[in-house]
């Protein structure tokens, strides 16, 4: 398969997004299930503005999508059109234990 210049640029931008520890951790969480911002904030023990900024970058990069339910927005992975990411996601550590240990936030 020959990659076009456009796809190389897209891949490079996507890889830049993955180079941040917080964003990679968020993706590892979303690999397990869709989540709302408040639960991601609680699990990662950080601030809502911090997580929202990371999610905005991931959404702009086309790696996550959002779904509105009532007043809440849920985030999930959006990598079906990026086969080059599938191998990386296979190797992301499972966050299932952290998610299972987390008491869901009342906001969602």
Would you give the DSSP letter of residue 92? S
Q: Are 67 and 74 in contact (CB under 8 A)?
A: yes
What confidence score (pLDDT) does residue 8 get?
A: 87
CA 50 from chain centre, in angstroms, equals 13
Q: Which residues pair with 68 in a beta bridge?
A: 73
What confidence score (pLDDT) does residue 15 get?
A: 93
> What is d(CA 96, CA 17) in angstroms, rounded to the nearest whole number?
22
The predicted model gives 47-75 an average pLDDT of 95
What confidence score (pLDDT) does residue 2 get?
A: 53
65 pLDDT more than 80:
yes
pLDDT tens column, 23-36: 999 999 999 999 99
Count Cβ neighbours within 10 Å for each residue of 10-37 and write b for 16 or more, e otherwise.
Answer: beeebeebbeeeebebbbbbbbbebbbb
What confidence score (pLDDT) does residue 3 get?
A: 55
What confidence score (pLDDT) does residue 22 get?
A: 97
What confidence score (pLDDT) does residue 5 get?
A: 59
> What is d(CA 108, CA 57) in angstroms, rounded to the nearest whole number?
22
């Amino acid at each position: 398969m020959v990659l076009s210049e456009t796809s190389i640029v897209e891949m490079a931008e996507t890889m830049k997004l993955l180079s941040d520890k917080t964003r990679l951790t968020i993706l590892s969480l979303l690999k397990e299930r869709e989540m709302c911002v408040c639960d991601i904030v609680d699990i990662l023990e950080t601030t809502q503005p911090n997580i929202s900024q990371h999610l905005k970058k991931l959404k702009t990069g086309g790696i996550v999508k959002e779904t509105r339910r009532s007043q809440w927005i849920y985030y999930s992975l959006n990598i079906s059109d990026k086969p080059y990411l599938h191998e990386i996601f296979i190797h992301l550590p499972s966050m299932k234990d952290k998610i299972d240990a987390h008491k869901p936030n009342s906001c969602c």
